[in-house]
């Protein structure tokens, strides 16, 4: 499977990277590994050997997250040392090193030495979603708002603030990749009559028929259900829906279009999405296959043409299914 994937990528002038980590991997094992030079060298040597053997063009490190979820206060320093070791080994052989990083302000402060991340990583993908979930809050909140929503709890919990925090820390715009969710976060309301933003909840939302995870619905599960009462603002920031005691926050076509515009205005490297198998890839909802990804790509291309960004490369859509991740990025740059 990996051989077929890398062959298809190379034949289509796409760079393929293998991702290591993810939410389910946790943080403890990475914290322990990175705490010693011996552990870092063993890990980086093995990772680079795997990249070489399987024919990938690089590696994406997705440690979620340094100094969190059972990690150590020393993770911030050790994460930088781990990146240094990976950078030396990968870049000496012509491979790429990218990282997936948190969008949470506290996690950024405690887990990352931003100048080191900038020094060693080729691209920095911001996991700019899950700002609010039923597991962390006792009220409804938006999954991935682009801007601050007046009156919402957590004024720093939005994409714009997260991007600016990494920019202010020293990562240039043309290294930053904005992440979008192809899924929604769901809640069970305390009272179905109180279904606005910030209203009380009692639990995660009911699990979806296919994803079967409480508090979570794939985009196709949301758009296939015609019973939702949708609430939207004109700027694409405020998007949620409710049905009885169920409440969901997600990104729709208008939201990803506004985010694509934001990427172009900021001069960012591109966009990534988690995850392609949550998209409406079979056109179950009648808006065409992959409507969110299509909208993001078309918006970036249109804006690129209309505004004559002559100093920027053309943006295009590229999919890396081996890691269930999609990247929308400057042509011939990565993924």
CATH class of 2-180+252-330: alpha beta
Residue 312 has pLDDT above 50, yes or no: no
What is the DSSP track for 266-281? Answer: HT-SEEEEE-GGGS-T
Q: Over the stretch 214-248, which tens digit does the pLDDT of each residue have?
A: 999 999 999 999 999 999 987 777 899 999 999 99
Domain residue spans of the chain: 2-180+252-330
Percent of the residues in the chain that have a pLDDT greater than 70, as a whole number: 90
Q: What is the mean pLDDT of residues 50-68?
A: 97
The reported pLDDT for the residue numbered 326 is: 37
The reported pLDDT for the residue numbered 13 is: 85
Q: How big is the CA angle at 178 (ends 4 and 172), to the nearest 5 degrees?
A: 110
Residue 310 has pLDDT above 80, yes or no: no
pTM listed for this prediction: 0.90
The reported pLDDT for the residue numbered 308 is: 53
Q: Which residue has the higher pLDDT, 312 or 308?
A: 308
Closest CA to 274 of 335, 320, 225, 221: 320
The mean predicted confidence, pLDDT, of the chain is 90
- Alpha helix ranges (H) inside the chain: 2-11, 28-34, 37-54, 75-91, 105-111, 114-120, 159-169, 219-223, 253-266, 291-306
The reported pLDDT for the residue numbered 314 is: 42
Q: What is the mean pLDDT of residues 76-80?
A: 98
Widest Cα–Cα separation across the chain: 60
Going by pLDDT thresholds of 50, 70 and 90, the confidence category of residue 323 is very low
The reported pLDDT for the residue numbered 304 is: 75
Residue 305 has pLDDT above 80, yes or no: no
- Per the DSSP assignment, residues forming a β-bridge with 271 are 178, 328
Contact partners, residue 162, CB within 8 Å, separation at least 6:
103, 104, 105, 108, 126, 128
Percent of the residues in the chain that have a pLDDT greater than 90, as a whole number: 81
d(CA 80, CA 1): 32
CB atoms within 10 A of CB 313: 15
* Residue 198 contacts residue 153 (beta carbons within 8 Å): yes
Residue 275 preceded by cis peptide, ω within 30: yes
The residues assigned a catalytic role are 64
The bridge status of strand 123-127 relative to strand 96-102 is parallel
Least confident of 62-71, 168-177, 195-204, 293-302: 293-302
């Amino acid at each position: 499977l990996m051989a077929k994937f890398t062959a298809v990528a190379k034949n289509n002038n796409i760079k393929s990277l293998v991702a290591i980590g993810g939410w389910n991997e946790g943080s403890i094992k990475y914290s322990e590994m990175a705490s010693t030079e011996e552990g870092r060298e063993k890990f980086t040597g093995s990772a680079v050997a795997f990249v070489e053997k399987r024919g990938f063009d690089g590696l994406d490190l997705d440690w979620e997250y340094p100094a969190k979820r059972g990690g150590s206060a020393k993770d911030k320093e050790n994460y930088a040392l781990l990146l240094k070791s990976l950078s030396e080994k990968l870049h000496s052989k012509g491979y790429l090193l990218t990282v997936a990083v948190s969008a949470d302000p506290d996690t950024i402060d405690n887990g990352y030495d931003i100048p080191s991340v900038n020094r060693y990583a080729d691209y920095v993908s911001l996991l700019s979603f899950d700002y609010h979930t039923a597991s962390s809050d006792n009220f409804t909140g938006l999954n991935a708002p682009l801007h601050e929503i007046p009156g919402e709890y957590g004024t720093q919990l939005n994409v714009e603030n997260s991007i600016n925090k990494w920019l202010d820390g020293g990562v240039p715009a043309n290294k930053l990749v904005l992440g979008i969710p192809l899924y929604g976060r769901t809640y069970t309301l305390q009272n179905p009559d109180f279904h606005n933003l910030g209203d009380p909840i009692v639990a995660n939302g009911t699990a979806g028929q296919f994803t079967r995870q409480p508090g979570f619905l794939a985009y196709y599960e949301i758009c296939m259900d015609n019973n939702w009462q949708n609430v939207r603002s004109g700027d694409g920031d405020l998007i949620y829906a409710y049905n009885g005691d169920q409440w969901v926050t997600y990104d729709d076509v208008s939201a990803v279009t506004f985010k694509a515009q934001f990427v172009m205005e900021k001069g960012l490297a591109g966009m990534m999405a988690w995850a392609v198998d949550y998209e409406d890839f079979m056109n179950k909802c009648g808006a065409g296959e992959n409507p969110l990804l299509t909208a993001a790509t078309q918006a970036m291309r249109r804006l690129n043409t209309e505004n004559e960004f002559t100093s920027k490369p053309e943006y295009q859509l590229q999919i890396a299914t081996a890691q269930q991740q999609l990247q929308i990025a400057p042509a011939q740059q990565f993924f």
